[in-house]
Structure formats: C-alpha cells, structure tokens
Amino acid sequence: MYDEIYPDDVAAWLEQGAQIVDVRETWEYGAGHVPGSVNIPLDELVGRISELKEPLVLVCASGNRSGMAAQYLTQRAGMKKVANLVGGVYLWAARGQQLVKPGEDAPVQQRRTA
C-alpha cells in the first residue's frame, strides 16, 4: 500500500529524505516540474528501479500515472515508503506552488543571479 499525499505534505516527506520522481513524458517534464524532482517516464520505470530510493514521492500531471507507478512499486517491487502526489502538477500549481524547468534548481524568483 502507498500513501496519497497533497502538495502541502511534500515538505514533510522531503524532510525525511524523500526522492521525488516525475513519471510524465520528458516533454511534459520540460514544460515545468516540482523543484528537485527527477524525470523517469512511466514506460521506463521498471527498467530504472535501481535509480529509486525510499522514501519516494511520485508525481505526474494529475496523479493517475504516478498512482499506477506507486501501486506497481509497492505491490510488485516490494517498496514500502511510497507516496502518490494527488492532483499531480496541476494541483501543485493550483495551490500556489512553483514549477521549474530543467536546469533551474529553484523557482525563478528564488534563484541566485551571478
């Protein structure tokens, strides 16, 4: 079984050392993603399980694909500490959280300038 979490819960998972994995397609990830997340598209997940670490937060556009990934990882791959971000990046952005693009470590207004 995996946890269903909301955008406000992500910080607590990060404090526990969670890895955030975005399972959307690369082009979707490139349009904007949760800060600190890595992109492993859903169709590559099984072959890249060795790159995952627990605790693990999975995210997609709406929570559907990440929910499928969470179910697979807990039921078939034996992972124990897995969460699905309900509402995905849509709810993340709707709740006022920033999305970043590849190469940005933080939202634009928080980035350092040289």
Catalytic residue among 60, 70, 83, 86: 60
Active site residue 67: no
Q: Which residue has the tokens 């992500």?
A: 10
What are the E-state strand segments in the chain? 3-5, 19-22, 38-39, 56-59, 82-85
Residue 28 phi, psi dihedral angles, 5° rounding: -70, -45
Q: Which residue has the tokens 């060795």?
A: 50
Collect all residues with Cβ–Cβ distance below 8 Å to 102 and sequence separation of at least 6. 29, 30, 33
List active site positions.
60
